[in-house]
Amino acid sequence: MQLPDEAIEFNYSGVLLPHSEAWTPLAELQSKHYLRSERVEAVKQQLMSVRQQVASERMMVNPPAKMLPLDSGFIDLPGKLMEQYRRKGKSSELGQIIQAAEKLKEEVDRVVVLGIGGSYLGAKALFDSLCHTYHNELPEKMRPKKPRIYFEGNNVDNDALQDLLDLLENICVEPSLREERWGAVVISKSGGTIETATSYRVIRQELVRYYGHSPEELRKRLVPITGPSGKLRELSLADGFKDDEILKIPDGVGGRFSVFSAVGLLPAAVVGLDVLALLLGASTMTQRFLSEPFDRNPVLQYAAINHLMATELGKDTRVLAVWSKKLEALGLWYDQLLAESLGKQGLGPTPFTVVQTRDLHSRGQQHQEGTRDKLINNLVVKGTKHAPIQIGMADRNEDELNQFSRKSLPDVLNAAFRGTNQAYAESARPTTDLILPTLSEHTMGQLMQMLMLATVVEGRLMGVNPYGQPGVEAYKKNMTAILKAESAKGSGGSSFGTVH
């Protein structure tokens, strides 16, 4: 397990009010839209109290009712999983996850991951950021025993699911051949989320149709991941799964905080990612959060700067500008993390993700000259996995690129990044930079744990419980009631727009 020496860094100088000797129009704008450094200094003591609060919350066994829900188990989970694995090996929780992944890899060449929200977004972020961009298109020799992977059960899209079924039906014809076998991972803590439950019913029926009605054949190609109780566990037990064959989502770990449980680790292991490096990166970030002072603590820095920009300067539209297309899914994972954690009591920032430089040609105009309600957090990767691609010389120079022939694509991206930040600074548009030395399991472990911890810290700064998502339950309740009413009437359902 090779790990990079560098840790991720957070640079927030782009939001601090620079010293100005004389009045200028730019200085006037900066005074209204940038933070004074003394304000950052003033919040440090409050941050120390919040850190102590968050640290103590993770030790509570029976928290008082007013603190519930308290899903702080994610904080120590990476370290606990690694320690159990060191002591117990294959019989540990992580050992069981790795074994389940190895069995699935041996059995099938395609895996359908069913889950919604936190039950799939973290796994998708890891897959997109760390696997080959065209992983599913690669021949077997370029991804030995690393199955293709598809994410479903995150919507109720009839045609999208049918397209997947069509693919499986036409590609997977002979179940005796591994390259034509497929399996599934179903993830739901309660088993009651209807989007995942309905997709699972369909996928389970397809598995039975393809492999036959043998429970043993089903269990070889299906892995359930769920809570200690609930509908999915009951269904899995009824299908003949033993208790230790059902991977668990631990108590005290909420869905959007579950990426370092079986929820994220099993899909990661299935496609050959180093799950120990992921956990080590996450555990390292937890230790930095708990022990490092503010000046070396990216969790506290990120939470403080984003909180102050929103509450004191009105920058409550929070843009995560990822400077790698491989990090778009990470941004969508973070969108859910922030929105569900902090969007409560009429409060909370509005998150969205842009991919640079792609979205400079769509959102860029708005960010440069639109409403001044945004803080742009750049997420930058310093190194590349592959050797830099050179622009090179060409016989035809109508594109006038020969002048840059010695430059590479990373050089162009760096120039775009610097030029964009400069343009924002010249019009008093605040930015920060979250810097990864490279894209690896270790850095992604750090990054995702940092963002989860920072979200909890910001929630406590706001006076909002960052756990739970009571607002999400409203649509679920209404949807179930409508389905029950229409089923009782024998109705085929209403068309869109007719239910009020």
d(Cα 82, Cα 154) in Å, to the nearest integer?
Answer: 30
18-27 contact pairs (CB < 8 A, 24+)? 26/426, 26/427, 26/428
Check residue 436 and report its DSSP letter. E
Going by DSSP bridges, is the β-strand pair 431-436/9-11 parallel, antiparallel, or unpaired?
A: antiparallel
Is 66 catalytic? The answer is no
* Nearest residue to 299 (alpha-carbon basis) of 460, 437, 124, 431: 460
* Nearest residue to 457 (alpha-carbon basis) of 277, 313, 301: 301
For 212, phi then psi, to 5°, come to 95, 180
Is 146 catalytic? The answer is no
Among residues 44, 145, 382, 476, the one annotated as catalytic is 476
Q: How far is CA 260 from CA 27, 58, 69, 185, 469, in A?
A: 45, 16, 20, 16, 20
Residue 103, burial from CB neighbour count under 10 angstroms (0-12, 13-18, 19+):
middle
d(Cα 442, Cα 126) in Å, to the nearest integer?
Answer: 11
Task: Give, to the nearest 10 degrees, the angle between helix 121-130 and helix 262-270.
Answer: 30
Three-state secondary structure of 14-27: HHECCCCCCCCHHH
Among residues 206, 340, 441, 458, the one annotated as catalytic is 340
Cis amide leading into 69 (omega within 30): yes
d(Cα 341, Cα 349) in Å, to the nearest integer?
Answer: 10
* Nearest residue to 356 (alpha-carbon basis) of 394, 407, 321: 321
Strand partners, 319: 352, 376
* Nearest residue to 312 (alpha-carbon basis) of 375, 371, 369: 375
Is 340 catalytic? The answer is yes
On whether the CB atoms of residues 46 and 61 are closer than 8 A, the answer is no
Enter the tokens of residue 109: 């060449």
For 120, phi then psi, to 5°, come to -145, -25
Enter the tokens of residue 170: 């036409």
Query: Which residue type occupies 481?
Result: A
E-strand ranges in 245-394 read 247-248, 317-322, 350-355, 374-381
Please, how many CA atoms are within 13 Å of residue 436, restricted to the half-sphere of its CB? Answer: 25
Among residues 242, 361, 489, 500, the one annotated as catalytic is 361
User: Which are the catalytic amino acids?
Assistant: 340, 361, 476
